[in-house]
Structure 1
Amino acid sequence: MTGGYPHADIGLQRPGVSRGLIDVFEHRYLLTLIVRKEVQIRYRGSVLGWLWSYVKPLVQFAVFFVALGVFLRLSNSIDAYPLYLLAGMTVISFFTEAFANGTRSLVDNAPLIKKIYVPREMFPVSSMIVAAINTLPQMIVVGIIAAVLGWQPTALGVAAILLGFVIVAVLSTALGMLFGAINVSFRDAQSFVDIIVMCAVWASPVMYQLSMVRSTLPDWAFTLYLLNPLTPAVELFHYGFWAPLDTSGSDQLPELWLFAGIAVVTSVILLFVGQLVFRRLEGRFAQVL
């Protein structure tokens, strides 16, 4: 007791001051509630419910497989092409869902942001977690298909899959925070994100083999292509699921682990930048929304 007032020696903290992602992890229970709310809202009144998480990716897979695998006959030149395509599309689906929903998350939760203070980073982080929840069953399906085709998992292959998953999780959270903060004041950011999402599937070796890019681009351009964090992430999934079934071995990247490490560093740097921009713009969120 100091000066006759109880508890006056307890340090006070100015309300509404965020410590960024640290607050998100310290309020894990609140994060769980937000994730649960987003999942329930997404499938409220839906007949198929969770099955919708598979309908869109499977329809996209069917369209691309018929167009590329059958009509352009990539199935004849790429071993286990359906598995190659599905593994890569799982990565891209995770990224596009987490990134796009993270960008919209602050605007979509405007009523909550205007009423009470919560660490605002929770909203893009929760969007990433919801996307991850939807992606995990898809990965199980890819694993089952691979096993039917004769795939036998290895410790290094599983590690590659997990590393690719982590890269996409960090990258999509970083970009979701960055563009989500900008989208509060400038809704054009959401349209720009839609363009990025549309191009993402073609900017990494999902539909085509990496060897095709290597043989077409000059060395410096191919290096820039590999510096896209999504490229190593997709290749890590290919390494884990598809490479054991590739009899030629011609499309495997010798520098995979090097560029995977660069992708991790790049994603972490972008997360730091996204946090800085988020903190800079956060004070105006409630007012603008």
Structure 2
Amino acid sequence: MTPPEVATGLVAPGRGRGLLDVHRNRYLLSLITRKEIQVRYRGSVLGILWSYIKPAMQFAVFFVAMGLFLGLNRGLENYAVYLFSGIILMNLFNESFRNAARSVVENYNLIKKIYLPRELFPVSSLWVALAHFFPQVVVLVVACLFFGWVPGLAQVGAVLLGTAIVAVFSLGIGLLFATANVFFRDAENIVELLVMITTWASPVLYTWTMVRDAMAPWMFALYMLNPLTVATELFHFGFWQPTLDASSTWALPDAFFSLWVPVAIGVSLLFLFLGDLAFRRHEGTFAQEL
């Protein structure tokens, strides 16, 4: 019989403590993150400059199509800032979610050879996305300064909170789909569909008031349950609102900060909890399934 003091020190093979193990393996996380960035730009002439070029081209396409052809820029002051502040936030979510969802499958060789906390792969995808997100924020800040951007503490806090909401939400849903993708490769197709519609499901190309005026109250409430909607408006509040003329009447309602921001935080944390729970429950069989 195994002595109690020995038995209590044993853990099930292939099982960890979820995201807590990521914190204990921060150095390993940094190695994986650097490896992902180096692999991404291996053989590339422009390298990290693609983090500037790709969103700039995306902005140009949307600005011409939505701003000029459909005339949204005529009804919205500083539409360029409004548009770009939403685009870079969606880029953060899309990149983090897409890469996290396939991170386990893409690292199957390493997972099948040694044990290490599997959560490191989805979390590293988030850090890589944040590394690409930072240059885009720098470009946005420069553009905002050109339009007379003078932020206060509330605006800076809104930007940081919006970024945190997207990071937590994308990691949570990324963990869920990373788990599903191990067993059902159709999950990747679902991820691509979700990535395709996220920009349209949040007030990036249009204003949230258009949705409020066109939908029934219960449908609008469902729309506002999307954490990306709230995070996008926090970015508009942080970057776009300070560039408006002093006579502008644009303002977010009090209910947005008192109700929808806490709801967005709660929904994001719920998805993170569910994603971590599902991942920990099934990670013990990842190696044999892959």
Aligned counterpart, 1:207: 205
C-alpha distance in structure 2 between counterparts of 1:21 and 1:125, whole Å: 9
Aligned counterpart, 1:142: 140
Could you tell me which amino acid in structure 2 is paired with residue 277 of structure 1? Answer: A
CA RMSD of superposed structures (Å) = 1.5
Aligned counterpart, 1:31: 29
What's the % identity of the aligned pairs? 51
Q: Which is worse superposed, 157-166 or 252-261? A: 252-261
Aligned ranges 1:121-270 → 2 under 5 Å = 121-247=119-245, 248-250=248-250, 252-257=252-257, 258-270=259-271
Deviation at 1:11, TM superposition (A): 6.5
C-alpha distance in structure 1 between counterparts of 2:6 and 2:180, whole Å: 40
Contact 1:170 1:271 in 2 (8 A): yes
Match for residue 57 of structure 1 among 51, 55, 58: 55
Contact 1:210 1:251 in 2 (8 A): no
Aligned counterpart, 2:283: 282
Q: TM-score, normalised by structure 1?
A: 0.94
Deviation at 1:251, TM superposition (A): 5.7
Q: Which has the higher contact order (CA 8 A, sep 6+)?
A: 2
| CA separation of 1:251 and 1:213: change in aligned 2, threshold 3 A | farther
Aligned counterpart, 1:69: 67
Deviation at 1:10, TM superposition (A): 11
Q: TM-score, normalised by structure 2?
A: 0.94
Could you tell me which amino acid in structure 1 is paired with residue 9 of structure 2? Answer: L
Q: What is the number of residues matched between the two proteins? A: 282
Deviations 1:181-218 (A, max 9, x none): 11011000010010000000000000001111111111
Contact 2:15 2:283 in 1 (8 A): no
Deviation at 1:283, TM superposition (A): 1.6
Contact 2:169 2:272 in 1 (8 A): yes
| CA separation of 1:16 and 1:281: change in aligned 2, threshold 3 A | closer
C-alpha distance in structure 1 between counterparts of 2:181 and 2:249, whole Å: 44
C-alpha distance in structure 1 between counterparts of 2:69 and 2:187, whole Å: 36
Deviation at 1:17, TM superposition (A): 2.8
Could you tell me which amino acid in structure 1 is paired with residue 83 of structure 2? Answer: L
| Counterpart check, 1:115 vs 2:116 | no
In structure 2, the residue corresponding to 1:255 is in which secondary structure? helix
C-alpha distance in structure 2 between counterparts of 1:276 and 1:12, whole Å: 22
Could you tell me which amino acid in structure 2 is paired with residue 125 of structure 1? Answer: V
C-alpha distance in structure 1 between counterparts of 2:15 and 2:215, whole Å: 49
Aligned ranges 1:100-111 → 2 under 5 Å = 100-111=98-109
Q: Which is worse superposed, 145-154 or 209-218? A: 209-218
| Counterpart check, 1:272 vs 2:251 | no
Contact 1:84 1:242 in 2 (8 A): yes
In structure 1, the residue corresponding to 2:229 is in which secondary structure? helix
Deviations 1:162-196 (A, max 9, x none): 00000000001001100001101100001001000
Contact 1:87 1:238 in 2 (8 A): yes
Deviations 1:136-186 (A, max 9, x none): 111111111101100101100000000000000000100110000110110
Could you tell me which amino acid in structure 2 is paired with residue 255 of structure 1? Answer: A
Q: Which is worse superposed, 250-259 or 151-160? A: 250-259
**Unaligned stretches of 5+ residues in structure 1:** 1-7
In structure 2, the residue corresponding to 1:260 is in which secondary structure? helix
Could you tell me which amino acid in structure 2 is paired with residue 266 of structure 1? Answer: V
Q: Which is worse superposed, 244-253 or 216-225? A: 244-253
Aligned counterpart, 1:12: 9
In structure 2, the residue corresponding to 1:205 is in which secondary structure? coil
Deviation at 1:9, TM superposition (A): 7.5
Deviation at 1:51, TM superposition (A): 1.0
C-alpha distance in structure 1 between counterparts of 2:236 and 2:46, whole Å: 30
